[in-house]
Structure formats: structure tokens, C-alpha cells
Amino acid sequence: MVALSDEGRKLVGDYVDSMGLTLRVASGTTSNKAYGVGGIPHSVLIDPSGKVVWRGHPSGLSKGTVKDALKGARALGGFMALKLEQELGGALASAAKAAEAGKLGKALDAAQAVATGSSSTEEDKEQAQALAQALEQHAALLSQQAEDFLRRRDMLPAVQVLEALAAELSGREAGNKAADSLAGIRKDESLSRELAAAEFLDRARAAAAKLGTKKGKSKLEAVVEKYPGTRAAERAKAAIER
């Protein structure tokens, strides 16, 4: 799911922070005309082939319509998944399945086994090497995204990505690097405080959603009071003022 807005980056960023949104949100887009947007909010449903199968106010989108549109789509394993450009079968079928399920370590092991196997054909070896390279590049991209999150003090997604990399690629360079980054966060007084604040804000938002506006506001105020100067406190303050 992707949200698009024609508003500027700062305005959109402030709104995303105040609402605690976790989906991808793009700012400054000019795609409204291309998708026939006549009013806001407006949703567009695109099937696996890239065809627009529904458009309109999001309240009019039913689960049945979504289910029908997703028929034939291959399930991917979240942010860790590597979507392959071509279908791989035969000796690489298990590696491809693991890659699309986000099981990067298992996929790498399977690909490398084919690449070095004495019974593998030259074509299989070439495809296996290409897959292994794509998996390593994917892991490097995820690692860079985690570092970007850290620079912006987006602690929860940073830790989520690093923990997944450390678990999936344990013993490999990318996995060891992620484990070192996690250890560094917990040893660094400033970062560990930012992480504690982000976790506190996450709980406060969950509680606020159940309590309603007035009582929920007090939960957010507690974040500002307990963790002043943190990114989480800034976000809580923005949510209070919204």
C-alpha cells in the first residue's frame, strides 16, 4: 500500500509523524490526473498485472473487491522479501521461494549450493550466481535503509530491520554488521534513550487510540514529559497540537 499526496515534503512529513503512519507516503506527486482523482480522499486498486480494477472513495472499497483483485498474486515475505524479475524453477525453485518469503539466509545457501554444485548446468550456475548477487544487494539495501532510519532517529523501524537481518543472515557479513549495530544502539546512551522513547510513544499511541481524544492526549503528554528532546517527544508534541 502506498499513499500519495501533492503537498510538500515537510507538510506531509509532519502529518505522517503526528499520525504515526507506518505505510509508505510520497509527497509532491502529480499523479492525481493520471489516476482520475476528482476528490480527496481517493483510492485506486491495482491488480498484480498492473491493471487498475477499482477507484473511488476508500470507504467504498470492500474486502471482496480486494480479494478478487489479488487472485493469482504471489505472497511476499514483508520488507525482507526479494521480488524476483523472472520465475526460477528446477534446481533454483527452493532458493527463489525462500527469497520471496524473506528467508534471505536460506535463499543464499540454496543459491550458492547450485552455483558450486558439480551436477549443476552452466545455465543453472549463472542463474544461481545472479540470484546470490541480487540477494546480497538486497541485504545491503536493507542495511542502508536501517542506517537512514537511525540518522533520522526512526528507532523502531531501524531496530526491526536490523533484528531481521541479524537473524536471517547470522554468520554472514550483513548479519554480523546488523548485530553490531544493534549492540551499538544499546551501548550508546543517546540512541538507547531514543529507542526507549520510541517504544514508549508506540505504547502511548496504542493506548490513546482506545481512550479517545482527551484521555489519549495525556498519554502523549507523558512522552513529552518523560523523554524531552527526543524524536519521539517531538512526534508526540506534534500529535497533541494537531
Say whether both 183 and 194 belong to one domain.
no
- Tally Cβ neighbours within 10 Å of residue 239: 22
- For the chain, how many structural domains are there in total? 3
Predicted confidence at residue 5, as pLDDT, reads 84
Residue 50 gets the label, from left (phi > 0), alpha (psi -120 to 50) or beta, of left
| Single-letter amino acid, residue 116 | T
Per the structure, the complete domain to which residue 109 belongs is given by: 78-187
Considering the domain architecture, whether residues 140 and 59 belong to the same structural domain is answered as: no
Residue 49 CB contacts under 8 Å (≥ 6 apart), including other chains: none
C-alpha cell at position 43: 483510492
Residue 76 has pLDDT above 60, yes or no: no
Q: What is the pLDDT of residues 87-138, one digit of tens each?
A: 887 889 999 999 989 999 999 999 999 999 998 999 999 999 999 999 999 9
d(CA 14, CA 11): 5
User: Which distant-in-sequence residues (6+ apart) come within 8 Å of 163 by Cβ?
Assistant: 178, 182
Task: Note the pLDDT of residue 44.
Answer: 85
In this structure, the answer to whether residues 159 and 85 fall within a common structural domain is yes
DSSP result, 61-121: --HHHHHHHTTTPPP--GGG----SS---GGGHHHHHHHHTT-HHHHHHHHHHHHH-TT--
Report which DSSP code applies to 54: E
**Which residue in this structure is represented by grid cell 527469497?**
99
pTM here is 0.75
| Same domain as 10, residue 83 | no
Q: Which long-range contacts (CB under 8 A, 24 or more apart) does 105-112 make?
A: 105/168, 105/169, 105/170, 105/172, 105/175, 107/82, 107/131, 107/135, 108/132, 108/135, 108/136, 108/169, 108/172, 111/135
**What is the amino acid identity at position 216?**
G
Same structural domain, 180 and 200: no
Percent of the chain with pLDDT over 90: 48
Do 103 and 183 sit in the same domain of this protein? yes
Do 82 and 182 belong together in one domain? yes
Is the domain of 46 the same as that of 119? no
Residues 100 and 168 in one domain: yes
Q: What is the pLDDT of residues 215-233, one digit of tens each?
A: 778 888 999 999 999 999 9
Residues 183 and 196 in one domain: no
Average pLDDT value for residue range 65-85: 78
Of 69, 98, 116, the residue at which a domain comes to its end is: 69
Q: Are 33 and 114 in a shared domain? A: no
Examine the domain organization and report whether 181 and 218 are in the same domain. Answer: no
